[in-house]
């Protein structure tokens, strides 16, 4: 599986697969600025303690602001046995620019 997809590809994946889970690993303060509706929120620093709550049997699209923290989370989850993790390149910034202009930018 490709480990990184664009925001537009992530949107198509979500539209065509109801099992897809979006995981927002940004901080609470960032979430207050903008969010992708329906995304699960676990700040990056909490992922190690909460990864057992994440699905291993459906696509898990991880995102942050620009895509760097989420790529780190992807590598961590893979080290824990997850094979279903995909990074959304460009993060929520790209989502706001390419998919949903209603999502704020910062």
Distance CA 91, CA 19 (A): 20
Distance CA 72, CA 45 (A): 11
**34, 51, 58, 64: which one is catalytic?**
64
- Choose among 82, 85, 95: nearest CA to 10: 95
Distance CA 80, CA 87 (A): 16
**64 labelled catalytic:** yes
Residues with a known catalytic role: 64
């Amino acid at each position: 599986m490709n480990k990184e997809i664009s925001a537009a590809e992530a949107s198509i994946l979500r539209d065509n697969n109801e099992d897809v889970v979006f995981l927002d690993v940004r901080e609470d303060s960032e979430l207050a600025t903008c969010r992708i509706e329906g995304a699960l929120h676990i700040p990056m620093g909490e992922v190690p303690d909460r990864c057992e709550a994440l699905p291993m049997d459906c696509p898990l699209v991880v995102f942050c602001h620009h895509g760097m923290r989420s790529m780190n989370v992807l590598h961590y989850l893979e080290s824990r046995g997850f094979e279903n993790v995909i990074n959304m390149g460009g993060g929520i910034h790209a989502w706001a620019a390419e998919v949903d202009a209603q999502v704020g930018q910062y």
